[in-house]
């Protein structure tokens, strides 16, 4: 009876399983096949709800149904638009987004006090329903306060409609503003958006093509018969722009900023002065970037927004660039219509600008590529109306004027440049690739709270993904950072500072920080990494100051690999990101999991009282110590990081008999596992999975290389079991006076027992630390091994002398410590209380050092340095070290 007690729930689970299978197939499909699986998955999820899914599950499945139906409509609309514009359907992510990721996209809709909702299949119909596009009631006025720079404001004369800007046109036919009579020649004047205008120039063939125009998906309404945007009298215009994780709707009116002079604040077509759709595209883009005074971008980013094509930044000054391979790749992409190219200069010195004819920190459009034998060259355009042009070899043949009718017009600002010269004089080549070069796409969206400075050097808070491919075909991964208001405020503030000091604009952009992508071969495959050095890096992407960065690599078939998102100096507390994966074969992508699923973290600091340096220094045991109690046997991984990036740090894990007892002596065999020798800013160690630690208590010592080095740290302990307890072990030496014996205790030939006096004046609590070292004519040098011979060493604290003496404390349970050069010894008892009256009666308080199996001492031999930590003043070494022979 129990098996059939809830048949509706069983049917619900069966239907959900069928829905999941269609959802999996949906990720591997496009077009009609994707539509079929979207509808089927939605149908089975709906049946699962109807068959008795529980409340939480029912809500989750209803959200999936809603999303799948919306996705299906988008697929249909995409195919319909592609057929109308005679181009292939747009490559879409058919992954079903979970609710948290959908929430990220909706939160990223807010920008500059405006809302830019995700584009849906019915966005256009909602905007223009119920009326002819040419008869929108109006006039429509966009209330957005487009900002202008002080220079722009001095000549600004108001916002004007197209018929006011070009009064001689036939007002009965507004299509004039969408029609080009000559070849396009777009130019920038007083706007600060060279990257936008360069983008429009470079993409012009794709926008104006009569077959497959990209404008058909960019600006609405669109005239598919004449393959041009439709003119909307008095506005509005609806734009579909790609930013903040998805395609979004942006609405503007048709008013443009007019001036009181012959200068312009918007992009103009010098051969088609009546053509205004480029200025409308520019206005829509500047609306999402903050206004006509926005501090700047790069053309790769701009084209990604306008076209959705994949942006790649090629650093031309990089030592890793392969000249022939790069040329062949971009030439093939350009000739096949799958690549749009632009260039960016760096911070060229002013004296070189005039000599070279190039503008510093400026974007240029690439209009053509030619190769003839060993000659390879690019046709480059400066988008400024009146500006410098390249004066190098090959430029003189290309500076020509064009004519409209019979009237000569201005120069086109175009010039040919050898590819080798471009590598020398430009910093970056921006290539935007057609996503339809691939068959499959997956988009993943995530929020990233920036780590504290103590965890910046490690990967504990970094987003990491497991990526599995069944083939070896290339994978491209695009990381896109969502824009937010705080970034614009930083840019404007830094730009104002830059203008005051005539600094580099590149310096301004770097104020927004850097980000990077890397792929690793983790162990186990596809799991999270603790820090970069812990596993083999297969492909390391550059750190870029752009909101987009691209990584492409050849995967290892059937082996999950770990993708890591990294950042540097991102200034805001949290960001939203999108990862887009492009491939020729299906991918299995998920968030990477920790190989040890249970983790505990604890924070601390090396202070003046708790920074004891390495084990080569006597104060080593004042370093922070933590007790780790394991309830069951388990492997363990320890990760330590600090906010001081250059600080050398180390981890040592030691078995302990008590969670409250500090380690006061140590030898190499005591250490169960340790990190590599003093790595800067971060370090890591782990036990073998095949030899887990037994249940019990362990102590970890965290040290810097030198005493007195300060910094905050985070310790992360990862295991296979829950219930691990981490507690600080209080230092017996914290706040104590540190006294050092003035001389080394040096064993001479045949000597096995030395003692030195400790004098006290009142009741005192003290501890003793000894460090074996080497000596050369009285000078000491610490080390972890070698020099001074072998043998064992033991330390005691004794009250009195002769047969009646009493041992107050001993190191290592009374055992001799082998290989003692560099080894630290402390009293097992930690601290002891000493009464001065008792000391006086029995004949003194002594530190006793004993060796066994030692060789000759003397100059160049073995010595021991002894320190005392006390809560009262003590005197050390009265009478020096003396050799005694007491049984």
Residues annotated as catalytic are 194, 362, 382
Contact between 295 and 192 (Cβ < 8 Å): yes
What b/e readout covers 150-178, taking b as 16+ CB neighbours within 10 angstroms? eebeebbeeebbbbebeeeeeeeebebbb
For residues 430 and 432, give the distance between their C-alpha atoms in angstroms, rounded to a whole number.
7
For residues 271 and 291, give the distance between their C-alpha atoms in angstroms, rounded to a whole number.
26
DSSP codes of every residue in 610-651: T-B-STTSGGGGGS-EEEEEESS-B-EEEEEEESSTT-EEEE
Structure tokens belonging to residue 581: 């994966």
Q: Is 551 left (phi over 0), alpha (psi -120 to 50) or beta?
A: beta
For residues 876 and 759, give the distance between their C-alpha atoms in angstroms, rounded to a whole number.
6
For residues 138 and 201, give the distance between their C-alpha atoms in angstroms, rounded to a whole number.
32
Break the chain down into helix, strand, coil percent, rounded to 5: 25, 35, 40
Please enumerate in sequence order all residues whose Cβ is within 8 A of that of 805, keeping only pairs 6 or more positions apart, or say none. Answer: 798, 799, 842, 843, 886
Instruction: Give 322: exposed, middle or buried? Use CB within 10 Å, 0-12, 13-18, 19+.
Output: exposed
782 half-sphere exposure, CB direction, 13 A CA radius: 16
Cα torsion angle, 843, 847, 850, 855, sign: negative
For residue 694, the 8-state DSSP code is: P
For residues 788 and 227, give the distance between their C-alpha atoms in angstroms, rounded to a whole number.
89
Contact between 433 and 614 (Cβ < 8 Å): no
- Alpha carbon 525 to chain centroid distance? 21
Tokens 């905007």 -> residue: 127
Of 292, 278, 303, 298, give the one whose Cα is nearest residue 190: 292
């Amino acid at each position: 009876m129990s098996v059939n007690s809830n048949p509706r729930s069983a049917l619900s689970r069966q239907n959900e399983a069928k829905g999941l299978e269609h959802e999996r197939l949906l990720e591997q499909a496009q077009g009609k096949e994707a539509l079929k699986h979207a509808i089927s998955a939605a149908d089975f999820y709906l049946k699962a709800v109807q068959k008795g899914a529980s409340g939480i599950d029912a809500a989750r499945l209803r959200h999936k149904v809603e999303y799948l139906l919306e996705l299906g409509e988008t697929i249909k609309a995409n195919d319909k638009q592609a057929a109308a514009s005679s181009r292939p359907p747009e490559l879409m992510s058919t992954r079903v987004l979970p609710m948290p990721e959908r929430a990220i996209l909706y939160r990223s809709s807010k920008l500059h006090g405006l809302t830019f909702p995700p584009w849906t299949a019915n966005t256009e119909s909602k905007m223009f329903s119920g009326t002819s596009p040419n008869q929108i009631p109006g006039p429509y006025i966009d209330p957005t306060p487009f900002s202008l720079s002080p220079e722009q404001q001095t000549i600004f004369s108001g916002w004007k409609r197209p018929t006011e800007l070009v009064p001689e046109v036939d007002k009965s036919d507004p299509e004039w503003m969408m029609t080009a009579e000559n070849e396009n020649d777009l130019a920038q004047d007083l706007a600060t958006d060279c990257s936008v205008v360069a983008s429009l120039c470079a993409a012009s063939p794709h926008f104006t093509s009569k077959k497959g125009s990209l404008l058909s998906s960019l600006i609405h309404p669109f005239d598919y018969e004449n393959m041009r945007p439709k003119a909307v009298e008095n506005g509005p215009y609806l734009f579909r722009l790609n930013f903040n994780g998805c395609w979004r709707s942006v609405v503007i009116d048709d008013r443009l900023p007019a001036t009181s002079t012959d200068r312009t604040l918007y992009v103009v077509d010098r051969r088609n002065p009546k053509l205004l759709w480029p200025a409308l595209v520019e206005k829509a883009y500047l609306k999402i970037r903050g206004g006509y005074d926005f501090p700047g971008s790069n053309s790769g980013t701009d084209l990604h927004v306008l076209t959705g094509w994949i942006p790649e930044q090629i650093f031309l000054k990089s030592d890793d660039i392969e000249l022939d391979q790069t040329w062949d790749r971009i030439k093939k992409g350009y000739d096949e219509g799958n690549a749009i190219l632009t260039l960016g200069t760096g911070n060229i010195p002013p004296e070189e600008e005039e000599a070279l004819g190039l503008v510093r920190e400026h974007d240029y459009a690439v209009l053509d590529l030619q190769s003839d034998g060993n000659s390879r060259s690019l046709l480059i355009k400066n988008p400024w109306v009146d500006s410098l042009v390249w004066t190098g070899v090959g430029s003189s043949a290309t500076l020509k004027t064009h004519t409209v009718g019979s009237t000569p017009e201005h120069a086109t600002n175009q010039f040919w440049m050898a590819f080798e010269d471009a590598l020398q004089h430009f910093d970056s080549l921006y290539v935007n690739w057609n996503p339809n070069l691939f068959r499959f796409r997956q988009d993943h969206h995530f929020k990233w709270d920036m780590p504290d400075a103590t965890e910046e050097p490690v990967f504990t808070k970094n987003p990491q993904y497991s990526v599995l491919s069944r083939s070896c075909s290339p994978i491209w991964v695009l990381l896109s950072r969502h824009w937010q208001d705080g970034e614009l405020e930083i840019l404007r503030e830094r730009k104002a500072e830059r203008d005051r000091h005539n600094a580099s604009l590149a310096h301004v952009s770097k104020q927004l920080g850097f980000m990077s992508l890397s792929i690793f071969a983790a162990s186990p495959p596809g799991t999270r990494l603790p820090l970069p050095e812990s596993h083999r890096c297969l492909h390391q992407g550059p750190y870029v100051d752009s909101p987009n960065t691209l990584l492409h690599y050849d995967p290892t078939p059937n082996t999950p690999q770990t993708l890591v998102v990294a950042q540097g100096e991102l200034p805001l507390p949290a960001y939203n990101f999108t990862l887009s994966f492009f491939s020729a074969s299906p991918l299995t992508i998920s968030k990477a999991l920790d190989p040890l699923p249970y983790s505990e973290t604890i924070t601390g600091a090396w202070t003046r009282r708790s920074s004891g340096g390495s084990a080569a220094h006597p104060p080593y045991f004042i370093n922070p110590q933590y007790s780790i109690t394991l309830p069951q046997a388990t492997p363990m991984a320890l990760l330590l990081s600090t906010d001081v990036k250059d600080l050398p740090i180390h981890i040592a894990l030691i078995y302990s008999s008590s969670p409250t007892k500090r380690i006061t002596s140590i030898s190499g065999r005591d250490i169960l596992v340790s990190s590599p020798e003093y790595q800067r800013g971060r370090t890591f160690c782990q036990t073998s999975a095949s030899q887990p630690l037994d249940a019990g208590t362990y102590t970890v010592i965290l040290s810097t290389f030198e005493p007195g080095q300060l910094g905050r740290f985070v310790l992360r302990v990862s295991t296979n079991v829950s219930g691990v307890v981490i507690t600080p072990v209080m230092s017996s030496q914290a706040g104590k006076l540190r006294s050092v014996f003035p001389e080394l205790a040096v064993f001479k030939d045949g000597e096995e027992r030395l003692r030195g006096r400790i004098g006290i004046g009142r009741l005192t609590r003290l501890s003793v630390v000894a460090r074996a070292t080497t000596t050369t004519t009285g000078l000491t040098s610490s080390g972890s091994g070698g020099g001074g011979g072998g043998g064992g060493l033991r330390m005691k604290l004794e009250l009195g002398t002769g047969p009646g003496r009493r041992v107050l404390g001993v190191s290592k349970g009374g055992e001799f410590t082998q290989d003692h050069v560099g080894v630290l010894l402390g009293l097992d008892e930690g601290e002891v209380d000493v009464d001065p009256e008792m000391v006086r009666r029995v004949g003194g308080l002594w530190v006793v050092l004993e060796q066994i199996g030692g060789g000759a001492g003397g100059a160049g031999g073995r010595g021991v340095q002894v320190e005392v930590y006390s809560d009262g003043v003590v005197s050390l070494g009265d009478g020096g070290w003396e050799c005694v022979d007491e049984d």
